[in-house]
Amino acid sequence: MKNLFTFIALLAIIPAFSQQKNPNPWVMAPDTSIEVTYKNPVIPGFYPDPSVCRVDDDYYLVNSTFEYFPGVPVFHSKDLINWKQIGHCIEREGQINGEINIFAPTIRHHEGTFYMITTNVTHGGNFFVTAKDPAGPWSDAIWVDMPEIDPDLFFDEDGKAYVITSKFELAEIDIETGKLVSERHKIWNSTGGRYPEAPHIYKKDGFYYLMAAEGGTEEAHMVTIARSHNIWGPYIDNPANPIATHVNHAGMGKPIQGIGHADIIQAHDDSWWMVLHGYRSVTGYPPHHILGRETCLVPVSWPQGGWPVVNGNGSVNVEMRHQTLPLVPVKEKSGRTDFDFPKPGLDWNYIQPPQQDNFLFDAKEGHLIITGSELQIGEKGNPSFIGRRLTDIQFSATTRLLFDPKKANEEAGMTLVNNGSHFDIMIQKENEKRLLIVKLQFGQTIYRSTPVELSPGYVDLKIEGNGPEFIFSYAQKGNDFKTIEKADARFISTQTVGWFTGVCVGLYATGNGQRSETTAVYDWFEYKGIE
C-alpha cells in the first residue's frame, strides 16, 4: 500500500518537473508583468568604465575620457538613476603630463576628501587627485608608482590605503604622498579570461572581495569576483563566476552588449547596486556601436557571508523592473546652445588641452568663433575642434555657420569624430567658389561628395543619425534642408576605427597645414535625441 502511495506521488511530481523550464538562472527572462522602474543606460553616450562612491545619500560617479579634455566627468545623483554632471576631475593642463590619455578611474570618499585615481596612459601612468568638493577644484596629480592601468584605491577600516591595478599587484600607499609603503604583491591571477583588468576591493562580513573585469571590452566582457580573509590573499574564486556577462547564449540577444567593468555600491537604504558599462549596437550582425560604452545600473543582492548576485542572473536589461531608491529626477538639459555664455558647458570637450586662442566664446554676440590651426582632425595634437558626445542612436545635430574662406586651405564645418576618423559637412573655397562638401575620412581613405556651390550668407548644417546611417544636409536663407550625402554608420563605429571612445559631434575649423586667416563663426548649435 505504502509503495502504491509513493508511486502515485511520483506520478504527480514527474509532470511538474518535466514542465519546469531550464532551471539555469542564465536563461531567466525578466517578468514583464512587473512595471518598468527605470531604463538603461542611466548615462547614455560614451561614458565608460564607471566608478561610484556615496556620501550619505549623495552619489558621485566618474568615467574614463581618453584624449578628450577636460577629463573624467563627475556626475551627481540622489537615486543612482538620474545623474547630472557637476564638473571634471581634470580641467587644468598642469594636472597632466602634456598629452591626455585617461583610462579607467576609481572615485572614493574617505574622511571628508574625495579621491579619483586613474592612469594617463603613456604620459605619466597612475596618479590620483583629491577634492573637498567633487564639483572641483581638484588637486594637482599625486603620482603612484604602480604598473599598468585601472588603479583602484581601497581604504581599510584601520586607516591603511591600498592601490591595486590591472596587474593585480597590491601595495599599501601613503595617501598624502602617493609613495608605496609596502612591496607590491600579486594577489590574484584572475579566472583565466582575456584582458583581466578593472579591479576594485571591497570589505564585507570579514571578507576582502576583489572584483574585476575579464574577457576584453567587447562581446566576451564579464565581471568576476574572488574573496579572502586577508587583503594579501589567498583569494578564492566565486564558484558562480562570472557574476555579470552577456557572453553567453542568454545574453546574446540583449540590446546592451559587452557588459563589464563594474563598481559596486551600498545605497543609503542598505540596498546594493552595480554600475557597469555596455554598448548598444546600430547594426545587425556583427554588432557595431557608435555611442561608445555607456553607464548602466543593476541591482545586486549580497547576502551576509555570501557572494553578490547581479540582477538575478548576471544580465543588464534596457527596461529594469526592480525597486529603486526614491527617484529624484534632474532637470533635462537643453540640447540647444546660442553661445551666450563665456565658456563651454560641461558636456563640451576638446581633443587634447586646446590652444585657447583658437576658440573665442563671444557671449555678447552669442557666437563661438573658431580659428583653424594647421592641424586636421585625426592628426596628433589639439585640432581646432570642440564637441559633445552622441547620446542617442537616433539624433539630429544642426548648426548655423558664418564662414567665407579667403583661401583654398581654409575649411570649417560640423563633424562626427571617433578615434581620428571623421565625417564632415564643411565649407571650402575652390576657384573663387564657396563650396559645401561632405568629406568622409576613415584612416587613409577619404571620400568627398560632389560639391554644392553656396550662395552668400550663413549656412545651416545638419547631421542626422537613424541608426545604421548618417544623413548630411544643408539649408540657406531659411529654405528646407537638402540632403547631399549619406554614410554607413559602421565606418565610424568603434569596432571599425578601434580604441575605446564613442562618436562625438562637433564644430571645427582647420587651415590644412597652416593657420587659417579667416575665422569660422558659429551662431548656435542644437542636438536632439529622437526616442
Say which residue the cell 577619404 belongs to: 446
The three-point CA angle 46-250-36 to 5° equals: 65
41 vs 260 by CB, closer to ligand 6LW: 260
What lies within 8 Å, CB to CB, of 161 at 6+ separation is: 110, 153, 154, 155, 172, 173, 174, 175
Residue ranges in 7-46 that form contacts with ligand 6LW under rule CB under 6 A: none
Does 242 engage in binding with ligand 6LW (CB under 6 A)? no
Contact pick of 107, 213, 290, 427 for ligand 6LW (by CB under 6 A) = 213
Question: 168 in helix, strand or coil?
Answer: coil
- Least distance (Å) between residue 149 CB and ligand 6LW: 5
Residues 141-180 that bind ligand 6LW (CB under 6 A): 149-150
Rounded least distance, CB 521 to ligand 6LW, Å:
36
Q: How far apart are CA 263 and CA 269, in angstroms?
A: 18
Nearer to ligand 6LW, 217 or 493 (CB): 217
- Residue 449 CA to residue 210 CA, distance in Å, equals 53
Distance CA 385, CA 390 (A): 15
What is the smallest separation between the CB atom of 201 and ligand 6LW, expressed in angstroms? 15
Q: Which of 419, 519 has the CB closer to ligand 6LW?
A: 419
Q: Is 49 in the site for ligand 6LW (CB under 6 A)?
A: yes
The residues assigned a catalytic role are: 49, 197
> Looking at beta carbons only, is 101 or 376 nearer to ligand 6LW?
101
Q: How many amino acids of this chain bind ligand 6LW (CB under 6 A)?
A: 14
Taking the complex as a whole, the smallest distance from the CB of residue 156 to ligand 6LW amounts, in Å, to: 23
Instruction: Return the number of the residue (260 or 353) whose C-beta is nearest ligand 6LW.
Output: 260
- 427 to 400, 419, 451, 457, 512: CA distances (angstroms): 12, 23, 9, 12, 13
Cα–Cα distance between 110 and 206 in angstroms, integer?
Answer: 20
- Least distance (Å) between residue 448 CB and ligand 6LW: 33
Least CB distance to ligand 6LW at residue 213 (A): 5
How distant, in Å, are the alpha carbons of 30, 31, 209, 255, 309 from that of 35?
11, 9, 33, 19, 21
What is the CB neighbour count within 10 angstroms for residue 317?
18
- The amino acid at residue 318 is V
Output the CA torsion 513→492→504→130 (10° steps): -100
The CB-of-195 to ligand 6LW minimum distance in angstroms stands at 7
Three-state secondary structure string covering 388-416:
EECCCCEEEEEEEEECCCCCCCCEEEEEE
- Pick from 68, 69, 83, 103 the residue near ligand 6LW by CB under 6 A: 103
Q: Which helix (H) or strand (E) holds 430?
A: strand 421-430
In order of 172, 263, 311, 369, 474, the CA distances from 154 in angstroms are: 9, 12, 25, 45, 53
Nearer to ligand 6LW, 261 or 289 (CB): 261
Residue from 67, 169, 197, 485 touching ligand 6LW (CB under 6 A): that is 197
The x, y and z cell numbers of residue 289, run together, are 556601436
Residue nearer to ligand 6LW on the CB measure, 150 or 411? 150
Residue the block writes with cell 545587425:
284
Q: Are 510 and 411 in contact (CB under 8 A)?
A: yes
Query: Between residues 217 and 398, which has the closer beta carbon with respect to ligand 6LW?
Result: 217
Query: What is the per-residue binding string for ligand 6LW in 453-492, x denoting contact by CB under 6 A?
Result: ----------------------------------------
Judged by CB under 6 A, the residue of 102, 198, 393, 505 near ligand 6LW is: 198
By the rule CB under 6 A, 102 interacts with ligand 6LW: no
Q: Which residues contact 96 (CB under 8 A, 6 or more apart)?
A: 71, 90, 120, 123, 124, 141, 353
Decide whether 104 or 427 has the Cβ nearer to ligand 6LW: 104
Question: Which DSSP letter does residue 291 get?
Answer: S
- φ, ψ of residue 58 to 5 degrees: the values are -110, 140
Residue 105 as a binder of ligand 6LW (CB under 6 A): the answer is no
- Rule CB under 6 A: say whether 223 interacts with ligand 6LW: no
Q: Assess 217 for contact with ligand 6LW (CB under 6 A).
A: yes
| Least distance to ligand 6LW, CB of residue 277, Å | 7
Residues 107-146: x where in contact with ligand 6LW by CB under 6 A, - otherwise, as a string: ----------------------------------------
Rounded to 5°, angle at Cα 49 from 468 and 211: 130
When CB distances to ligand 6LW are compared, the closest residue is 217
Between the two ends of the chain, the Cα-to-Cα distance in Å is: 66
Q: By CB under 6 A, name the one of 90, 102, 104, 290 that touches ligand 6LW.
A: 104
- The only residue of 260, 308, 353, 511 in contact with ligand 6LW, by rule CB under 6 A: 260
User: Does position 48 bind ligand 6LW by CB under 6 A?
Assistant: yes
What residues from 313 to 342 belong to the interface with ligand 6LW (CB under 6 A)?
Answer: none
Q: Pattern 496-525, binding to ligand 6LW, x per CB under 6 A? A: ----x-------------------------
For 444-481, strand residue ranges (E) read 445-448, 452-453, 459-466, 469-475
What would you report as the CA-atom Rg of the chain, rounded to the nearest whole angstrom?
26
Yes or no: say if 222 and 212 are a contact pair by the CB < 8 Å rule: no
Shortest distance, CB of residue 245 to ligand 6LW, whole angstroms? 12
Instruction: Show contacts with ligand 6LW in window 68-87 (CB under 6 A).
Output: none
CB of 145 to ligand 6LW, least distance (A): 19
CA distance 428 to 413: 9
Footprint on this chain of ligand 6LW (rule: CB under 6 A): 48-49, 64, 103-104, 149-150, 197-198, 213, 217, 260-261, 500
